[in-house]
Structure formats: structure tokens, C-alpha cells
Chains A and B, each alone.
Chain A
């Protein structure tokens, strides 16, 4: 094996690929060869580093130098200065990586990473996901070997149970218990499925694991198959994730080549193989029974439960379905033991959780934290706070099934039970931060709009009930809210929660209920005062000209597309609210800040 003195790691995740990292890899290879360093320095395309906001990211080891937002024209300088002469190009480092005038911090000393604990993401941004040897070098497939040669299936399940691992897809069902049900179920054929249909808007944890460490999922599925007595698995992945799909295909091919998938793995009686099925853009297919219908080639409508999939799942056979991130923990638990895993987190939520931090926050990206970390630590210590000096208003977790957490609850511990107790949920890991400019009634409307669109139509409460809720919310945001609307929303929400067939419908009212709980005053301002406190809902805005500041330059009246602004030159102009379409052009153009919006 060749040894290199230096490694240049370039992020090849979706975020950084979108900002041009493929071009950087090509340039690095070219310039390194030009400098005659091709036998000393290796360029590796890795999975996601997590700090997408700073992309494209380049890390140079052994120093751990953390370069951010690298442009193609910077490559030559890094090669000539850093790789050839050993001088880190400080100007191009991520600003957080600069300690003082002479010292720099390495990647793991930067605030964004310091409070994180990487278990599920341990190999993301470290290894080349398209090379099975790199995974194996980081203890890959050792857990599968151990399981097949030293443990009985029941012992595997007992370890997973003892670790306290719960489903990372959102609901938090104990993984070991799920496996036990499927092991106990009678059937001539059993299936192991992986839910990679990450539909929650604003969440990309599973995509990053698949792109950065696909073998971790494959290995864990083989372990699960051994535990329940299955020989066939399916990974159901979104078609919208082309890079993840490609890396999975490569990984499955390599695993087959090495005899880690297929017949008689590790020379034992155990055989297991895997297929990929592509989703086709239906959020409800994240629900387990709907997903199984979809793999069978049918409309992705959920089935009534019971019978539960552990007894009658895919093709009517006993089936387990786990989320990508859940699988990403399994091999580590087998290798390091249940006690190690259970030592992280809180009493009832063990281990770590990956969140996709997005919205109005400085460090957007992927973070993995021990359960029990507070929301404040995530937002301010890791996320770097809110940009542009704005105030934090709420964090949304759980996507369309979750809720908004207000500033007064910033010290809540992030674990399954605490989040449920305050009316939100863990969800799959989307965490969207909102500032004072976001209207909470509009956010509730946004999520209901999503649910209505994605409701499969099978059961009435979800199909019709969510539509009625959306209509009410639309009226409120358009200034046509009526007294009694809030109460109607509450009644509908209660009934839908109690009667919908599947998880999608049962949780659909949550965004409304949680915003009503914490931001009821905003609803009331919309309905009774016809006012949007955040200044977001267009139809409720009023543009006015401050006579004290207006110089009468007439610029605003010239840009107004509907002729709503009139006045005489060098005298105060005024806006006719009946004609105004609230486009905001006048406010953008005014040089004297004389126009305000309320």
C-alpha cells in the first residue's frame, strides 16, 4: 500500500458538490501533479463534513487545516504554499479556525465540532465512500464478522436491546424490541428493509450517511438479517438523491465482490443480499406500511395496523424496517458494547442524534450531539447563533409532524420524551431555526399545505380534515380570519389526531397546535387586528410614507407598478392603500428610508 505524507480531503456531499467541489478535486489533482507531489499527497473525495454553509470545504491532514468556501482560483495557492512549502494559507482558512496571529485551530478544535460527538457520522468526511478498503481500515465489517462467528442471533438482539437504541426515524421505537418481534414471527421468508425515503423538508441526515458511509448501512442490515433470520434486504431511497443512490450501488457491488454480501458470508451458513428501490416522490412512503406497498410496486398507501410488519410486512412476510441513522449506529454497538452506547445520552434516550441545522442560523449543516444536549447549546454554541443580529424566535423539529419550540424553552433537553412533553417531537432530525421576521401562522400554513399535498387520500380525516384546516389558515393569513377560527382549528386538530389511519394524518395537526400553544398572540393579531406582527403576510401589510423623511423626489411613484403613489415634486408623497399591491418596490428604491411597512 502506498503511503502519503499529506491528505487533501474535499467534501463530495450534495451541498458542496452543488457549490463546485468536483471541479476542485480535478484542479487539486492537476496542480499536485504539476508540482511533482503525486506520490506524496493524496486527494480524497469524502462524504459530508457537516458545515455546509462554509462549502466547498477542503481539509488538509496531518495539520487538520480547515479551508472553507474555496474557489477554483485558490487551489494553486494551497498546493504551492501549503503542500509544497508547508505554510498554511491562513487567508483561506475558515475564520473560526484562526486562534490568534500565529496559531490556527485544527478541525476538531473549532466550536462547531467541539460539542459534537460523532457516532453515526464517524466516517463521514473521513473516508472515501466509494472505496470499501477505507471502510474496512476503519473497522468496517468487523462487527459483521464478530456476529456471524461468535454470537447467536438472540445474543445480537440482546445487545441491541441493552444498548437502549431507539429508532432514529422519529417515533423512537426500541430497535431491539422490533427485531425481537420479527425474530419470533413465524415465516418461511423474512425481509430487512432500510427507510432512506427522507421526505421531511429541511432534513438531510440520512442522505449524508448514505453519501459518506454507505457500507455502515449495508453492514448493519446484514447484522439485522442474521438476527431475525432473513436473507433478503431492500433499501428504499429517494430518487431525488442521485449521489447517494450511486454510492450505494457502488458499495453494494464492492461488498458482493468481497463476499460480504451474497452466499455463505465469512464462510458461514449465512447468506444475505440487498436490492435498492427508488422512491418516486411521495412523502407518505416514509410511513412503514406505505413504504412496503411502494416496494411491492403499488400506490404508496398505508395499511391499517395490526397486523404489524414484524408479522405481516413486505409481500405479507415478517419484515423489519429501520431508518438509515438507526442502522449507522449498529456496528459500533456490536464492536464497543451496549454499555458504551448506553453511557451516552439520557436515561431513556441513549446515544447521539444527528440534526440537520438550517434556516436562520449562521452555521447551517449537519451536527451530531449526545442526547440531552440543550437546544441553546445547539443554536448558540454549535450553530453560532442567528445571523444579522436578529432575535431567535423558534426552532422547528419533526418537520410536518413536529412543532415549534419558542425562545422560553431554549434550555429544553433534546431527547425523545422532553420534546414530546413540550408539544414537538424528535422527528428524523430536521431543525429549522426561525427569527423575528418569520410569521408563525404562515409557518403553520406552510406545513399544512405540505400535508394536504402529500395526503394519500385513503382516510377521510386526513384527506378532508387537513384541507379544512389549511383553508382556515389561508383565510387568517389573508386577513379574512373570523372570531371562532382558532377554536375550529383546535377541534379539527383533536379529531384528526384521534381518527387518522397512519402517522402522517395523526401528526399533521401538530404544527398548528404547537404554534397555537406558544404563539397564540400572533394568531389573534391576524384575526382581530388584521395585523401580521412579523411583517410577513403580504395581504396584511401596509406601506406608508413618513412625511418627515420624504423629500418629494417622486422616485417611488415612478417605480410603483399600479400607480398607487401620488404627490407633487418636492412635497410629501402618499400611498393609496386601496390601490397598493404590496410589492415593496417603492421601499426598495427610496433613498431616504421614508417608506415603512407594518
Chain B
């Protein structure tokens, strides 16, 4: 669904405006503003990037440059549940790649993409820092540890 600044998304833009007004004067405000914008919209569509650029009086290319540099910023809408399989070293040596492959197979979804029904986004993530529970994945804020590939189907069924 396209972004509509004066229609359905009006309230979100008002929220963003308040954030920008609050942070505008502080040094290095761009990233905190973008992080807030992503919380409000769920992702950073080009219209939102343009809005931030206009408000901060900088070019769109500067905002887009930051948006594409950092892994945290996403330019496309995310699925209802975001799955992150940890591919940090500790998880990798304990077989997290097999967990990721299995998820990709069950969901018919390549890594980094969202399922057709918009329910899940499947990501490989950097170390989540729960190395004691390796291999680990997160679905939303929920952490699942000491995983085996044949357990993931049952876990997905909960969502």
C-alpha cells in the first residue's frame, strides 16, 4: 500500500514531526530521528526519507546514504513476525546454518525476504549475544535457544 501523507498516514507523520522538532537542534540528530521514524512506520519508505531530508534541510541522498549503510534500517515493509536466526560464530559452529536452511525450506522464503502472505520475514542476523544458548533464533522479541532443525516447524506453528 502506498504511503499517503495526508490520508491514512497523517497521524504517523505528525508523530514524526514531533520527534524531529524535539531532536532537530542536537548534534548528530539524523540517525536518532531515522531510528524513531522506523519505529513509527515499521520501515523507511522513500516518502519518509524525503520528509526527514526536507525537515533537516539536507539532501535526500544523504538520508538514503545512511539508510542503506546500516543493517538496522529497512526500506521495505516487514512481515508480521520477524525471524532472526543468529549466524554469529558460536551459533554457526553449533549448526545454526542448518536451522536457517530448514526455515527457508518450510516457509518457501529466501533469507532476507518476507513470505507471500506477509506473515514472516526471515533474516540471518549478527551475533545476538546469547552464545550460551547456541544455536539461537528470535521471533519478534522471543528467544529460542539450543535449537535443532527439526524443532523449528513446531515453533512456527505457534504463530
Contact = CB atoms under 8 A, between A and B. Distances in A.
Given A18-B133, A280-B73, A282-B69, A295 B28 contact: yes
B113 interface: no
Nearest to A204: B129
Contacts of B131: 15, 52, 202, 204, 356, 358, 364
Contacts of B29: 297
Ranked 6 nearest A-B pairs via Cβ: A52-B132, A358-B90, A281-B71, A280-B70, A297-B30, A201-B88
B89 A359 contact: yes
Contacts of B128: 14, 240
A464 B11 CA distance: 45
Contacts of B40: none
Given A297-B66, A299-B69, A446-B89, A203 B127 contact: yes
A341 B127 CA distance: 32
A297 B31 contact: yes
19 contacts: A15-B132, A18-B136, A51-B132, A201-B127, A202-B131, A203-B127, A204-B130, A277-B28, A278-B35, A279-B72, A280-B71, A280-B72, A281-B126, A282-B69, A295-B28, A298-B30, A299-B66, A299-B69, A456-B69
Contacts of B140: none
Interface of B: 27-32, 35, 65-66, 69-73, 87-90, 92-94, 125-134, 136, 143, 145
Interface string A353-391: 000101110001100000000000000000000000000
Q: Which of B127, B133, B145 has the most CB of A within 10 A?
A: B127
A53 B27 contact: no
Interface string A296-329: 1111110000000000000100000000000000
A267 B72 CA distance: 42
Given A199-B127, A279-B70, 11 more contacts: A14-B128, A198-B129, A201-B89, A201-B127, A278-B35, A297-B30, A297-B66, A360-B94, A364-B132, A432-B89, A432-B93
Given A240-B128, A278-B32, A281-B71, A299 B65 contact: yes
Interface in A186-236: 198-204, 207
A364 B145 contact: no
A430 B132 CA distance: 12
A514 interface: no
Contacts of B94: 359-360
Given A204-B131, A282-B70, A297-B29, A434 B126 contact: no
Nearest to B143: A18
A201 B72 contact: no
Contacts of B134: 358-359, 364
A240 B130 contact: no
A202 B126 contact: no
Contacts of B30: 297-298
Nearest to A16: B132
A399 interface: yes
B73 to A, nearest CB: 6
Contacts of B70: 279-282, 300
A360 B29 CA distance: 43
Interface string A527-555: 00000000000000000000000000000
Contacts of A294: 31
Nearest to B73: A280
A204 B29 CA distance: 28
Q: Which of A201, A294, A356 has the most CB of B within 10 A?
A: A201
A294 B72 CA distance: 13
Interface string A248-271: 000000000000000000000000
A356 to B, nearest CB: 6
A572 interface: no
A329 B14 CA distance: 45
Contacts of B136: 18
A52 B133 contact: yes
A438 interface: yes
A409 B143 CA distance: 36
A294 B92 CA distance: 29
A294 B29 CA distance: 10
Nearest to B138: A18
A52 B132 CA distance: 5
A17 B128 CA distance: 13
A588 B87 CA distance: 25
Given A18-B143, A358-B134, A432 B90 contact: yes
A214 to B, nearest CB: 16
B111 to A, nearest CB: 12
A241 interface: yes
Q: Which of B70, B130, B134 has the most CB of A within 10 A?
A: B130
A507 interface: no
A283 B90 contact: no
Contacts of A296: 27-28
B129 A14 contact: yes
Contact of A277 (B32, B125, B133, B143): B32
Contacts of A18: 130, 133, 136, 143, 145
Nearest to B28: A297
Contacts of B88: 201-202
A470 B35 CA distance: 32
Interface string A546-589: 00000000000000000000000000000000000000000000
A313 to B, nearest CB: 13
Contacts of A356: 131
Nearest to A438: B93
Contacts of A360: 93-94
Interface in A11-31: 14-15, 17-19
B145 to A, nearest CB: 6
A129 to B, nearest CB: 16
Q: Which of B70, B128, B132 has the most CB of A within 10 A?
A: B132
B72 A204 contact: no
B133 A282 contact: no
Contact of A19 (B72, B90, B127, B133): B133
A55 B31 CA distance: 36
Nearest to A443: B93
Nearest to A294: B31
Nearest to A292: B28
